[in-house]
Amino acid sequence: MGFWSRLRRTWQTVRDNSPEAAAVEQPGAAQVATSRRALDQTALRDTEHDPHPVPRPVRAAAAWSWRLLVIGAAIAVLLNLLGRFAILVFPVVIALFVATLLRPATVRLTGWGMPRGVAATIVFVSGFLILALALTALVTTLAAGLQDISQNLADAVQKIRGWLQAGPLKLSDRDFGQLWESLQRSLAQNRDKIASGALSTATVVGEVGAGFLLTLFATFFFIYDGEKIWAWIVRLFPRRVERDVDEAGRLAWQALTAIVRGTVIVAAVDAIAITILLLILKVPLAVPLGILIFFGAFIPIIGSVLAGTVAVLVALVVKGVVTALIVLAGLVVVMQLEGHVLQPLIMGKLVKLHPLAIVLAVSAGTLVAGIGGALVAVPIVAALNVSIQYFARLSERAEPREAVVESEAAEIPHADGRREASRPEIS
């Protein structure tokens, strides 16, 4: 046998014993079994050389965990900074809220041909005068009604004392004397704390005064130069995202404007309705209580409940249980009207938030910065909600194109002409 004959026979033997030839010759189940063995061997080799021996779900959970930890740490640092610089942050935020009410008037006056500086000055001074007149009326009415409420309070205390003596507790005059002596001893023991509290109150008054001046200053420039200030902020971002940041910011401004204006209108309706009810029932301090309800409405849900509780207690002390129940029923009706009619009609879907989100936002704002945090929490959350939704929609529009490009680039050609998409790794 010649050399070429032996070489041809050897090649025939190798070809007949190859896996491809065996797969072709083996029918049905035998061919499937061979394919499975080949896949198992491939998987075993991939496992031996896998640079990530940790299971894929564990790796995905770990990746999400450290990202969430970083986000939580960033939020904690931001809240800490806001708490430390609250004396600067809150006046600016309040000025921003006030500017949502005053800026439209400035824009309208400017559109009529009035210089921008003159228009901003007229609107700013007018708003300040309206606020000053409202505060003056509040103080005057409160001072006039304090004598009546004090006399009624004294009568109510006597009634409560009589009930404690004649009721199930059967307290005697000696028991009341002991209570009074213990109260005096408590005041004497805590004299230093009371003095330090008075000093801290004076400090708070000074901070409030400084914050009020800063609020006035910031409000004027927001209504005078708001567009330039926002353009400067947008230019701080990379050029490729300036347009998206500008659009998200304008949507947030629209949401903030809607919620502030809507809150003012809803608060005014609540205050007027409750004031009329208190005047009809001849409850003292009807106007101050109405103003309290007006400002309480700026803290959604919780503020209205607290202000309404004060009105019910005053009616209970002065007029009795029946009048207090009538006031309570009126408050319930007004709050239902506010939640189901006024807020959806005035604020619309732009600032629609779930009641649980509102309560959590108010609670978080209170924990971080007290009453001031409760005041600004919901408007800020509403503005952030609109901005986040805009970027989420932007990401959803970009994902289909990226998915198509990645799928086309990731397809693996086979020898028989088929194409199979590769599986992306999760890291």
Helix H, strand E, coil C: the string for 17-37 is CCHHHHHHHCCHHHHHHHHHH
Asked whether 82 and 368 are in contact (CB, 8 A), the reply is yes
Contacts of 310 (CB under 8 A, 6+ apart): 289, 292
| Residue 147 within any structural domain of the chain | yes
pLDDT number for residue 31: 52
Between 166 and 134, residue with greater pLDDT: 134
Quick one: pLDDT band at residue 423, thresholds 50, 70, 90? Answer: very low
pLDDT band for position 209 (50/70/90)? Answer: confident
Percent of the chain residues past pLDDT 70, beyond the cut:
65
- Is residue 45 included in any domain, yes or no? no
Q: Among residues 272, 230, 224, 273, which one has the least CA distance to residue 254?
A: 230
**Mean of per-residue pLDDT scores for the chain:** 75
pLDDT for 421 equals 44
Look at residue 349 in the predicted model and tell me its pLDDT.
Answer: 58
> 276 pLDDT band (50/70/90 cuts)?
very high
Q: Locate 276 and state its tokens.
A: 């009329």
Domain carrying residue 148: 79-182+207-236
Amino acid (one-letter) located at 318? V
Nearest Cα residue to 256 out of 418, 91, 109, 376 = 376
| 85 in a structural domain | yes
Task: Examine the pLDDT at 278 and tell me if it is beyond 60.
Answer: yes
| Beta carbons of 304 and 296 less than 8 angstroms apart | yes
On whether residue 129 sits in a domain, the answer given is yes
Quote the CA–CA distance of 319 and 1 in Å, as a whole number: 128
pLDDT number for residue 326: 92
Q: When comparing pLDDT for 363 and 239, which is higher?
A: 239
Q: CA-to-CA distance for 395 and 138, rounded, in angstroms?
A: 50
Q: What is the mean pLDDT of residues 267-291?
A: 87
In this predicted structure, which of 19-23, 154-158, 225-229, 268-272 has the lowest mean pLDDT? 19-23
Is residue 304 one of the residues assigned to a domain? no
Q: pLDDT tens digits for 341-397?
A: 777 777 665 566 777 777 788 788 777 777 777 788 888 888 888 888 888 888 777
pLDDT above 70 (res 410)? no
Tell whether 25 is covered by a domain. no
Q: What is the mean pLDDT of residues 39-62?
A: 63
Q: How many domains does the chain have?
A: 1
The DSSP line for 112-179 is TT--HHHHHHHHHHHHHHHHHHHHHHHHHHHHHHHHHHHHHHHHHHHHHHHHHHHSTT---HHHHHHH
Tell me: pLDDT of 160 over 80: no
For residue 378 the two structure tokens come to 């919901």
The model's pTM is 0.64
Residue 300, burial from CB neighbour count under 10 angstroms (0-12, 13-18, 19+): buried
What is the identity of the amino acid at 282?
Answer: K
Cα dihedral value 260, 263, 265, 267, nearest 10: -140
Question: pLDDT per residue over 68-122, tens digit each?
Answer: 898 888 888 887 787 777 788 888 888 998 998 888 888 889 889 889 889 999 9
More confident residue, 316 or 8: 316
144 in a domain, yes or no? yes
Report the pLDDT averaged over residues 147-152. Answer: 64
pLDDT at 293 over 50: yes
Whether 301 is covered by a domain: the verdict is no
pLDDT in tens, 298-355: 877 778 888 888 888 888 877 878 888 999 999 989 888 877 777 777 766 556 677 7
